[in-house]
């Protein structure tokens, strides 16, 4: 089980503890925060990109490929479902994630394509695209 502990005591600034790591989340000043950390949505897309990069790197290492580094630009945009022509479900909103990946190193075109495919199968990608269930509890 993955676990994070959060404490929010000062406006929207949130201290996140994960294992021995401490992160700060906040909102931009324009949204009422103090901009002392990334927003939760920014942390989400960063998690997606970092997972894709790590997954590609691990795969390349297992294959003995000369992948030197990975660069990923990721964006997320929300749409009204009615404004998203390829969506046919019942949700009110659709989230679109886009990742532009660059694999640096002495790689063939086939290897780069395979790394793109593998990166798209990272655990965070799977979490975001598979059914999820949320449970909130009061203590």
Residues 25, 44 within the same domain: no
Identify the pLDDT of residue 14.
96
Give the range of the structural domain holding residue 22, as residue numbers without chain letter.
Answer: 1-38
> What whole-number percentage of the chain has pLDDT above 90?
94
Q: CA-CA distances (angstroms) from residue 46 to 14, 40, 102?
A: 17, 10, 16
Q: Give, for 53, the enclosing helix (H) or strand (E).
A: helix 40-63
What's residue 139's pLDDT? Answer: 87
- So what's the pLDDT on residue 50? 98
Residue 69 lies in a domain: yes
> Tell me: the pLDDT tens digits for 29-55?
999 999 999 999 999 999 999 999 999
From CA 123, how far away is CA 133, in angstroms rounded?
16
Report yes or no on 137 lying in a domain.
no
Q: Quick one: pLDDT at residue 10? A: 79
Closest CA to 50 of 42, 40, 61: 42
Residues 58 and 102 in one domain: yes
The candidate with the shortest Cα–Cα distance to 75, out of 47, 96, 93, 91, is 96
Q: Cβ distance 112 to 101 under 8 Å?
A: no
Residue 9 has pLDDT above 90, yes or no: no
pLDDT digits (tens, 9 = 90+) for 84-117: 999 999 999 999 999 999 999 999 999 999 999 9
Domain count, the chain: 2
34 and 46 inside one domain: no
Cβ-based neighbour number of residue 14 at 10 Å: 20
Looking at the fold, whether 114 and 67 belong to one and the same domain comes out as yes
Q: Which of 50, 51, 62, 60 is nearest to 104 (CA)?
A: 60
Residue 139 included in any domain: no
Nearest Cα to Cα of residue 38 among 74, 13, 60, 64 = 13
């Amino acid at each position: 089980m993955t676990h994070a502990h959060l404490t929010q005591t000062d406006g929207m600034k949130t201290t996140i503890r994960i294992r021995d790591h401490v992160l700060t989340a906040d909102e931009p000043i324009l949204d009422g925060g103090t901009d002392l950390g990334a927003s939760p949505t920014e942390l989400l897309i960063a998690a997606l990109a970092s997972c894709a990069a790590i997954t590609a790197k691990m795969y390349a290492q297992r294959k003995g490929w000369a992948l030197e580094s990975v660069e990923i630009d990721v964006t997320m945009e929300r749409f009204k479902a009615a404004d998203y022509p390829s969506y046919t479900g019942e949700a009110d909103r659709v989230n679109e994630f886009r990742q532009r990946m660059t694999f640096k190193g002495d790689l063939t075109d086939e290897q780069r394509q395979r790394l793109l495919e593998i990166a798209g199968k990272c655990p965070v990608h799977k979490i975001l695209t598979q059914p999820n269930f949320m449970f909130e509890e009061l203590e």
